[in-house]
Amino acid sequence: MHTPTDAHDLRHHGDAEVRGGDLTDLAVNVRAGTPPAWLKERIAASLDTLAAYPDGRAARAAVAGRHGLPVDRVLLTAGAAEAFVLIARALPVRRPVVVHPQFTEPEAALREAGHTVRRVLLAERDGFRLDPAAVPEDADLVVVGNPTNPTSVLHPSRTLSRLARPGRTLVVDEAFIDAVPGEREALAARTDVPGLVVLRSLTKTWGLAGLRIGYVLAEPETVAALERAQPLWPVSAPALAAAEACVTTAALAEAAHAAHRIATDRAHLLAGLAEFDEVRVVEQAEGPFVLIRTARAYAVRERLRGLGFAVRRGDTFPGLGPQWLRLAVRDRTTTGRFLQALDQALVLSER
């Protein structure tokens, strides 16, 4: 537990790894082959409404129904990133804690809002698993991802629930949980955990990073406070159409099928990585990405670029160093090509 004094680049994201070349993308955690044709059609149809101001009531009700919650517990946002900014600016936070390594935007948003952020750093020797006792009792805001980016660790919901306290806001980022079969350990529908704020993103599973759509699930008072901090019409009509489309019964069934396919493809990737003595993988990965450690990670990453593959550097995540890389899960064919390239990159990086 410490207050950060290092210089991690909290604004570095995987899309930076893909720029400047025709690369096979294992750096960005957006599901390949998305958005599907039916979703593109729904978004395209919404363009006929662009002359009118966006009306989010139908999409908000659809999201509420998807989770079995009342509408006043739902807030639509321009991606989960906007939600982090709203939380940092609108809630009466004095002693925020961010559990790392994890997505860096929550800490960046808190800092930009003038907060001093304390970090709880999870350790590799513990499998990057969370011990609630590591979080200071006086923390009035705690942020944790589940499954956590970049470690791919899925924390038990009972463990996360133990972080709840009177007077504390517990923010659980579930941006990737719809890639977990059955959404195991999800807290989204829970109303019995005091101070709980769950963030969801529709950009990862549906390939909508460029559209910016996500939502917050929280107590009505918290939703109202966040909504007051939003600008007028924060979510565009095409994004609202996408939100409504992505929570239908058919869409949820498609997402569930995709989650099982991701699990199979991840197992294939992990089996291939196990063949390399030079590579250590964080065990029990549950997300659509895996975290690996190799002694020459910088050189390996550069060699992979030369071989046509982009992977995500890990040293910008607090709690990780220059020996870490994050790999997005792709189909078996792409993974097979990547493993061949990794073999070459490991050899070339020794020179």
Strands 74-77 and 280-281: unpaired
Provide the pLDDT for residue 6.
56
Q: What is the pLDDT of residue 4?
A: 60
Predicted local confidence at residue 70, as pLDDT: 98
Please name which of 167, 199, 162, 144 lies closest in space to residue 94, comparing C-alpha atoms.
Answer: 167
Query: DSSP label at 115?
Result: P
Beta bridge partners of 169: 141
269, 329 contact by CB (below 8 A): yes
Task: Determine the pLDDT at residue 247.
Answer: 98
Which runs of consecutive H residues, i.e. helices, occur in 32-129?
37-46, 57-67, 79-90, 105-112
The C-alpha angle with vertex 218 and arms to 217 and 220, in degrees rounded to 5, equals: 120
For residue 3, the model assigns a pLDDT of: 57
Ranges assigned E (strand) in the chain: 24-26, 74-77, 96-100, 118-121, 141-145, 169-173, 196-201, 214-218, 280-281, 289-293, 309-313, 324-328
Per-residue pLDDT for the chain (351 aa), expressed as one digit of tens each? 655 655 678 767 767 787 777 899 999 999 888 899 999 999 999 999 999 999 999 999 999 999 999 999 999 999 999 999 999 999 999 999 999 999 999 999 999 999 999 999 999 999 999 999 999 999 999 999 999 999 999 999 999 999 999 999 999 999 999 999 999 999 999 999 999 999 999 999 999 999 999 999 999 999 999 999 999 999 999 999 999 999 999 999 999 999 999 999 999 999 999 999 999 999 889 999 999 999 999 999 999 999 999 999 999 999 999 999 999 999 999 999 999 999 999 999 887
Phi, psi of 326 (to 5 degrees): -110, 135
| Structure confidence at residue 351 (pLDDT) | 73
Helix 237-246 with 249-273: angle, nearest 10 deg: 80
Describe the crossing of helices 237-246 and 57-67 by its angle, rounded to 10 degrees: 20
The reported pLDDT for the residue numbered 25 is: 95
At 8 the pLDDT is 78
Q: What pTM was computed for the model?
A: 0.95
